[in-house]
Every structure is written in structure tokens, then in C-alpha cells.
Structure 1
Amino acid sequence: MSTSAPCVLVIDDEAQIRKFLDIGLRAEGYEVLLATNATEGLALAATRSPDLVILDLGLPDREGHEVLAELRQWTQVPVVMLSVRDAEAEKVKALDAGANDYVTKPFGIQELMARLRVMLRSRPGEPEAPQRYDDGELAIDLARREVTLGGEPLALTRKEYAVLAMLLRHAGRVVTQQQLLRDIWGATHTHDSHYLRIVIGKLRQKLGDDPTAPRWLKTEAGVGYRFLSGA
């Protein structure tokens, strides 16, 4: 595998999708491995150690969920699930099972590339969770537990800060409602999504972040939230 270019493994049985991704990824400078089914994909993942896997949910020999589960037994390589299925339950199942992202077909190649760049920044050996964020307007310092907006300290409640900090630690990736509720409110509150909606609403108010055109906090409808880090 090339040491200069990240390697992306595409596991998809649709020839058009494979060709589309192969052309798009190579144009961005990636090395590309292609597999038409789960068996081929798992073999390539084991022998070529890709930096990222794009995995179709509906494969001819095995379900994408099964492939993800097998991968997660021995590797933490970033995995993007690809599917025509846009049901909330499918997305939540994939993300909770260890997928790093979920993209619904049809999709735009530039949006996909942006998501890949975010995940590849957190490859093994690099610090996965940023401790500080500063885009010139919003600054978050997790070590000091400080948040400023436009240079002025932002007063946040403990829950507001905890949600913002958790989203930042997973910047660019979807964090499910269940993950946020479990980690911040506790295991008995995983269905109390109204708590989370209230806190996200208050955070957006304080940040002046428009939910219809978010700068920092993006809602993934019915699934969870993503901190936009400018990828």
C-alpha cells in the first residue's frame, strides 16, 4: 500500500457506483481498492489494511451490517456505510454498531470527500479527539473547560458544555442521540430525547447558530448530531 496516499477500500456490488467512486477518489489522490461483495471486501481489508472503508449495506453474499460487525472484531478502520435505505432505524443501527458515518444514495461526491477527509485526519497514530477548536469566532478549550464566542466567555450549563464537548471530540462524525443520552444523562435515559433537544436548542441560541443553515451544530434527522469543523 502506498505510504503517500491514503488507501480507500470500496465494497459495493453496483458497477456504476464502484466506477463513480473509483474515478472520484483517484481524482482526489487516493489509492483505491474495489470489491464486489463481502467476501472480497473482507479479504482485501485483512491483506491490504486500507485507511478507510466505504461499505454498501446491501451486498449479494452478506448484509453490510454483518461485514461491519466482523471488521469491528479486529480493526477500528473508519467505515462509511452507503445505502439507498434512508430509514432512521437503519442509520442508528449502523452508527451504534461502529460505523463512523452513513451516506444515503444518491449522494454528492464533494460532500462524501469532505466527510472522508474528516475521518482520515483521525487515523490511528494521530490524536483522535481534538482538545481545542478555534475558527476565529468560536473557541473551545476542553483542557481548560472554556468556551468563548467572538472573544467573550460563553456561559454554559454543565449539560450544555458536556454535549458540546462530546460533539467536538467526535468532530465531523455523527453522534447518535442514544450515545449522547447514555454518556451524559446515564443509561436509564437513552429514550429521553426531549432532554437532548432542549439542550441543543439552548446551545444554538447561545451560539447564534441557525439550525436551517448551521455553522457548528448540524442535526442528522432522527439519528443524532454532528459538529461541523469546516471540513
Structure 2
Amino acid sequence: MIMDHVLIVEDDMKINAYIQFLLKSNGYQYTGVASAKEAYEALIATSIDVIILDLGLPDEDGTQVMRQIRSWSDVPILVVSARNHEMEKVSVLDLGADDYMTKPFSGQELLARVRLALRHRYREHPTDPVVQIKELSVDRDKKLVKRAGVALHLTEMEYRLLDTLLQNQGKVLSSQYLIRELWGMNYGPDTQALRRLMANLRRKIEKDPAIPEFIITEIGLGYRFLD
């Protein structure tokens, strides 16, 4: 059986060793490095399935490492950093990170995020145009959305928002990413229209919009359609 291989890019050797212990205890292969240079070398030499990336590396900022990796690879990147400023988190997601965790972190949550990244990487897109998630079904050919067999009347923008989230199921999408996808590059940073659109969509697809089971708000980051 081939095990998934995780690359840990973390210059705090205690944290690096702790993550290695977690991964080893849960059946993963892993490579631990402490610099950007070593990370690039590992990516060239080894088939990597997920990257756990710290931003404060000694030789290169983690955001630049992400830019370099994203220029040639779509391997999932889980950022684990002490930086907790909201705008920095959002910018990291916009650069191509799949997820973001703030130190200190729970070992079990880290493992859950790794599993989520792997599911997102290896999910097979069905040939059937109808996607079924619990009671929600989406027919992409007909742009028809049903909940428990009852057709929902979505506006064009509500459908586009839902489809964008579904295409990235399990991944955190920042508000600015969604705004660019829905309204274009020149719309600006105002998120009020997105919040209104999201509220309207939730009222239609969720049983209880106050306790959503499909679209989750990741505080300070954006939105995630549950995997």
C-alpha cells in the first residue's frame, strides 16, 4: 500500500518533530525540512501529496515559497503559522494556500486538515452532471438545484456562487477570491454584496441558515463548502 507523503516545512525543530510524530503515528510518509531551499529540493526529489508550510522561514518568506510552488504545481498547501492578522491570512489564501491554521494548534485538527486536503486533491469528478450532497442536488447541465426533491429558485448570481463553492469543495475560499470570480477583477474590496448574496443562498439551500450544514464561514478567512 502506497502511503500519502507529507512535506513539513518548519524551522522550529520542536514543532517539526511533533508534526512528524503525528504523521508517523497515523500512517503517513513524511519529509521534514527547515528552509525554503530544502523544501524545493524535496519537491524535486520526492512525490509530495501535501505540504505543511510555516511562513517564517530563515532563508525565504513562506509566501514567496508558495508563489514559487504555485507557478508549477497544484499540490495542496496547508499553512501553519503564528501570524494571525486577518488580512495576511486572506492574502495567503489568495496566493494559493488550501487552508490556514494558527499556532498553537491541535494535533487532531491538523490531521483532519491534512485528510481534507488529500480528499480535495484526489476527489474524482463524476461524469454524471448531477452532484448530490445529502438532500441537496445540483444539475450542472440544467443549472437546476433541488433540496429534498423540491426545486429551488436561485438567481444567476446565487447559482454561480454555489457552483464556485462546489468546484472547490472542502477548500477555504477568501471573500476577495469569490468577489473576483463573481464580479471581476475591477469590482473592488467591498464585501457587502457578497455577504448579501451568501445570506440569500443560505436561506434557500440550508434547513437553518443560522446552523449551516453546507456553507461554513471560516472566521477571518472566508467560506468553505463542507466536504
Asked if these proteins are the same fold (TM beyond 0.5), I'd say yes
Rounded to whole Å, the distance in 2 between the matches of 1:156 and 1:173 is 23
- 1:11-52, CA deviations, whole angstroms, 9 ceiling, x for partnerless residues? 001222222211222232211110022221221111113111
Q: How does 1:1-40 map to 2 (within 5 A)?
A: 4-40=2-38
Q: Could you tell me which residue of structure 2 aligns to residue 101 of structure 1?
A: 99
Letter paired with 1:53: I
Rounded to whole Å, the distance in 1 between the matches of 2:222 and 2:102 is 15
* Alignment check: 8 A CA contact 1:38 1:67 kept: yes
User: Cα RMSD between the aligned structures?
Assistant: 2.4
Counterpart of 1:56 (choices 54, 57, 67) is 54
Identical-pair percentage: 39
**Secondary structure of the residue that 1:156 maps to in structure 2?**
coil
> Is the alpha carbon distance of 1:143 and 1:115 closer, same or farther for their aligned partners in structure 2, counting shifts above 3 Å?
farther
Q: Could you tell me which residue of structure 2 aligns to residue 205 of structure 1?
A: 203
**Secondary structure of the residue that 1:219 maps to in structure 2?**
strand
> Is the alpha carbon distance of 1:108 and 1:133 closer, same or farther for their aligned partners in structure 2, counting shifts above 3 Å?
farther
Q: Could you tell me which residue of structure 2 aligns to residue 226 of structure 1?
A: 224
Provide the TM-score with structure 1 as the length reference: 0.88
Provide the TM-score with structure 2 as the length reference: 0.89
Equivalent residue pairs, number: 227
Rounded to whole Å, the distance in 2 between the matches of 1:116 and 1:7 is 11
> Is the alpha carbon distance of 1:148 and 1:50 closer, same or farther for their aligned partners in structure 2, counting shifts above 3 Å?
same
Per-residue deviation, 1:142: 2.3
Per-residue deviation, 1:226: 0.8
Per-residue deviation, 1:113: 2.5
* Alignment check: 8 A CA contact 1:131 1:169 kept: no
* Alignment check: 8 A CA contact 2:206 2:212 kept: no
Rounded to whole Å, the distance in 2 between the matches of 1:130 and 1:177 is 30
Per-residue deviation, 1:209: 5.3
Rounded to whole Å, the distance in 1 between the matches of 2:92 and 2:126 is 20
